[in-house]
Amino acid sequence: MSESQATFQNAFYIGNNFNAILYGVELVLYFMTVRAMFNPKHRQMHSRGSDKFFVFFSTALLCLNTIFVATEAVFGQEMWVVHADYPGGQDAYLDDFAAVWYQTLGTAASIVLNLLSDGLLIYRCWIIWDDIRVVMFPIVLYLGTFSVGIVQLYESGRPNANYFAGLAKQLGISYTSCVISLNLIVSGLIFGRILYLIRRVAHIVGVDREYTTAAAILVESAALYSLTGIAYLVSFAIESQTSIFFLSVYVMMTCIAPQMIILRVVVGRAWTRERSAMTSTNLEFTKSAQNATETRLEFGADESNAVKHSGFVTTQQSDSSTVDVVEAV
């Protein structure tokens, strides 16, 4: 086994272990979300339509993530245990079976997982900004990402193809670049909008702390999703053998990040369109009140100066009259 392939094999093994750990985190978040939805207090305050949507959406995320974790684990077992004596070793097995059907299934699951997560992020961006114009470009980029993902899936799933070599690799770089660019744009829009509202309004009218903590902003903007994507894109583009590890973590965050957003929505701690609109309205009302106060103060100051000036003139006129009378006498 060459040194580079040894690094790849070790990164693949460590990535599978991280998959198992992070899958446990996803299960906890999923069941916390379902439990919160079936809370009687929650069911009185929220519509059942949105609950059904989030249940199906969360379940779809979990199922797709399960497919990815399972296919990676099975491929590792086949390569290291079942076919440990494969002619040429693990490197030869990897080259010959990288496009096996269940690996293609795992790749397809990760692409659909990306599409669902990015769709939720665009929706959340629209909710927080409350302006469809803001998300027009991300929507166009989203459609382009979908097209490139389908082509990349087809190319990497062909017989004797390899996700990390040839045309499949080039398409993979293009697809990942589109996905990460979309993540960064949408996450940046969400992060910037929340930060703007906090800085412009919190010190004037106040915003609940549960909406303004660093952790809340990171969750709302899906920052972990974007950051792990950048790490994977860089390692994949420079042909680092550790890219398989960052891919594993990135796909897991593709599921965990939106699940954390859904959990915040369900428990009533996420930014909503009403809260964003109310915050903006409070900001405009506060500005109007401040302008009105400044106008009243300026008017009062001008009126006071006028009164003082008028009294001064009268006194002068009175003094002048007195002088004139005295002089006449």
pLDDT tens, 241-286?
898 999 999 999 999 999 999 988 888 766 666 665 555 554 444 4
How many Å from the N-terminal Cα to the C-terminal Cα in the chain? 127
Are 137 and 125 in contact by the 8 Å Cβ rule? The answer is no
Closest by alpha carbon to 210, among 271, 263, 279?
A: 271
Going from the C-alpha of 262 to that of each of 34, 165, 259, the distances in angstroms are 10, 36, 5
Q: Give the C-alpha separation, 122 to 128, whole Å.
A: 10
Are 216 and 268 in contact by the 8 Å Cβ rule? The answer is no
pLDDT surpasses 80 at 142? yes
The amino acid that residue 263 corresponds to is L
What pLDDT, on the 0 to 100 scale, is given for residue 48?
A: 61
Are 125 and 186 in contact by the 8 Å Cβ rule? The answer is yes
Least confident of 16-25, 28-37, 153-162, 285-294: 285-294
Least confident of 76-85, 99-108, 200-209, 315-324: 315-324
Closest by alpha carbon to 220, among 279, 273, 260, 182?
A: 260
Least confident of 38-52, 72-86, 197-211, 285-299: 285-299
